[in-house]
Structure 1
Amino acid sequence: MRKKFGNLILVLIMLIGVGLLVYPTFSDWWNSFHQTRAIAGYTAAVANMDREEFDRMWAEAEAFNTYLSQKSGRFNLSEQELETYNSILDVTGTGIMGYIDIPSIKISLPVYHGTDEAILQIAIGHIIGTSFPIGGEGSHCAVSGHRGLPSAKLFTDIDKLQAGDKFLLQVLDRTLTYEVDQIRIVLPQELQDLEIDPYSDYCTLITCTPYGVNTHRLLVRGHRVDNDNTDATRVTADAMRFEPVIVAPLVAAPILFILLIYVLISTSRWNKRRTAKRSKADIRRSIGKIASKDSRKNDSKNDSKNDTEDTE
């Protein structure tokens, strides 16, 4: 019983160790898989829309952007304004308004309304009070993503972006391309870099910095440029690029199973050898004891015989 309990403890320790080792990779894959599905679902919903729906949704977003550009305190919306905000560009009813593709760091991520923590744990959030990501003069869209999460990559690598790099926003049936022109580090309460320029079309990517400390914000701003046809085509293709990774757990599971079987067999063999050695030692001791008893009996008989002869 003690041996079986020891084996069970060994297996549990190994499983915990392997779990801790693979958790970041697996959870990043899991989130990437669901991000891909969200993008695919959005793309499918957009494909089923007609031109009238496109035009209506786009016009609603343009009207809201115009309203924001004229509003003082645009980062503090009323409940009614928030309700209107959440209804715009919500094609699927899940809050996704499009997705962002950054070719230089190889990420495609869905963009949702708002920056609630539940959203930022799995995707990118559009900052309420900034323009909807539809472009046009006098618009400044800002999207935010976490960095360094053990469960998802998200905006971890946007500090690698340099001036001249491009990123793309896919909203409805349109692709908007931006070229990085400014990278700044500011305090969380410093919002002047998100102001709207009436003559410019900007989009800013935001994440926490320094890595693991998160006392400041990294702002990577881009200005609108013409689309490159290859980039626009790749956005749709990249939406499914994580799907092949589904084979990873299928490969890892049998390897882990074989490893556990090997450990159990090795432990069992070691226990058997140890038991066999103990058994042999016990047999030798038993034989030795029996021989010793027989020897003492013979000695006792001889002594008795000698005593009898002496008496005669």
Structure 2
Amino acid sequence: MKKRRWTTFLLLFIFFLGLSIMLYPALSNYWNSKTQSQAINDYEAMLKAMNDEDYTEYFNAAAEYNKALASLDFPLKEYGKIKGYNEILSLNSSGMMGYVSISKIGIELPLYHGTSQEVLNVAIGHLQGSSFPIGGESTHAVVSAHRGLPGAKLFTDLDRLEIGDTFTVTILNQTLAYQVDQIRIVQPNDASEMAIIEGGEHCTLLTCTPYGVNTERLLVRGTRVDTIEHRTIYVSTDAYQIDTLIVTPIVALPILFVLMMIVLFKPVKKDEGDD
């Protein structure tokens, strides 16, 4: 009897360990999605307290930074010559400057200053040394996010984008639309495709590739367009549609648990010849 209790305990431990491992990616992604949505809601709430003069001041500061950046010979290496990066387009201490929407792969993610691991583990980071994504001639913004994290979708599906697809970047009260015009795979130390093109207005989405290997970089560049046809509009809300990857195990696992309990605790019939 004592041996059977230990066997039962071991089976239960294995069951709940497997359950935790199975549910972690889906639940973690769900939690991160809720957190990202809340960050965007909070950002939009702050904008309601601003007026036209505030917007002009923020955009002018960003435009001056972009102009100074474009005058450098190697902006991605020499950006340290320009001071005040973290204060530009920063409404509070969080460092959030806006958000990026890519309707084809169903994401809308906060955009923060810099590409520290703290930022990239949960959202999109703006690559310092690239232009702020506010538009204007001779600008090239680069924004980056991780791919393939077990608990966050982020840029996992970025390789699904094709020439002609679109995405938007919202900064303060301005939403800029970009159409993909170039897709490149480069080595990590190759920054040539992220250079500012004189007269151009570009924004590049950057992530690691191949999936799970991460030895190269996938660059999806968009050029500024006036409008996006048939754009999917994302509305930030407290409601969130739960993915089937979450629903399926939540429904199936209790059933399996009950069946396991029935098998474990089913009375053992004694043979008629036993005393």
Q: TM-score, normalized by length of structure 1?
A: 0.80
Tell me the distance in 2 between the aligned counterparts of 1:192 and 1:204. 12
Asked whether 1:78 is paired with 2:109, we answer no
Residue 249 of structure 1: how far off its partner (Å): 6.6
TM alignment of 1:68-217, pairs within 5 A: 68-76=69-77, 77-78=79-80, 81=83, 84-217=84-217
Q: Which runs of 5+ in 2 are unaligned?
A: none
In 1: Cα distance, 2:158 partner to 2:146 partner: 10
Q: After superposition, where does 1:1-16 map in structure 2 within 5 Å?
A: 1-16=2-17
The separation in 2 between residues aligned to 1:148 and 1:249, in whole angstroms, is 18
**1:74-109 C-alpha deviation (Å, 9 max, x unpaired):** 22443982xx11111112321111111011111111
Q: Judge conservation of contact 2:102–2:168 (CA < 8 Å) in 1.
A: yes
Counterpart CA distance in 1 for 2:91 and 2:184 is 33
AA aligned to 2:23 is V
In 2, Cα distance between equivalents of 1:58 and 1:166: 24
The answer to whether the 8 Å contact 1:36/1:242 transfers is no
Read off the aligned partner of 1:267 and give its amino acid letter.
L
- List per-residue Cα deviations over 1:240-265 (Å, max 9, x = no partner): 38723299979965764554344224
- The change in CA–CA distance for 1:159 and 1:247 in structure 2 (over 3 A counts) is closer
Structure 1 range deviating more: 97-106 or 17-26: 17-26
What is aligned with 1:64? 65
Residues 25 and 248 of structure 1: CA distance in aligned 2, closer, same or farther (over 3 Å): closer
Any stretches of 5+ residues in structure 1 without a counterpart? 284-312
Task: Work out whether 1:277 is the aligned partner of 2:270.
Answer: yes
Q: How far off is 1:55 after superposition? A: 1.2
Q: Which residue of 1 aligns with 2:224?
A: 224
**Cα RMSD (Å) of the superposition?**
2.5
Q: Which structure shows the bigger proportion of residues in helix conformation?
A: 1
Q: Is the contact between residue 7 and residue 264 of structure 1 (CA under 8 Å) also seen in structure 2?
A: no
How far the C-alpha of 1:229 sits from its partner, in A, is: 7.9
> 43-52 vs 243-252, which deviates more?
243-252
Give the distance between the partners of 1:191 and 1:8, measured in 2 at CA.
56
In 1, distance between residues paired with 2:245 and 2:70?
48
**Greater relative contact order structure (CA < 8 Å, 6+ sep):** 2
Instruction: Count residues with an aligned counterpart.
Output: 273
- Shift in CA distance, 55/25, structure 1 to aligned 2, threshold 3 Å: same
- Once the two structures are superposed, residues 17-67 of structure 1 have per-residue CA deviations (whole angstroms, 9 ceiling, x without a partner) of 122222222222121121111111111111222222111111111111111
Q: Secondary structure at the match of 1:75?
A: helix
Higher alpha-carbon Rg:
1
Matching residue of 1:50:
51
User: SS of the residue aligned with 2:237?
Assistant: coil
Counterpart CA distance in 2 for 1:205 and 1:248 is 27
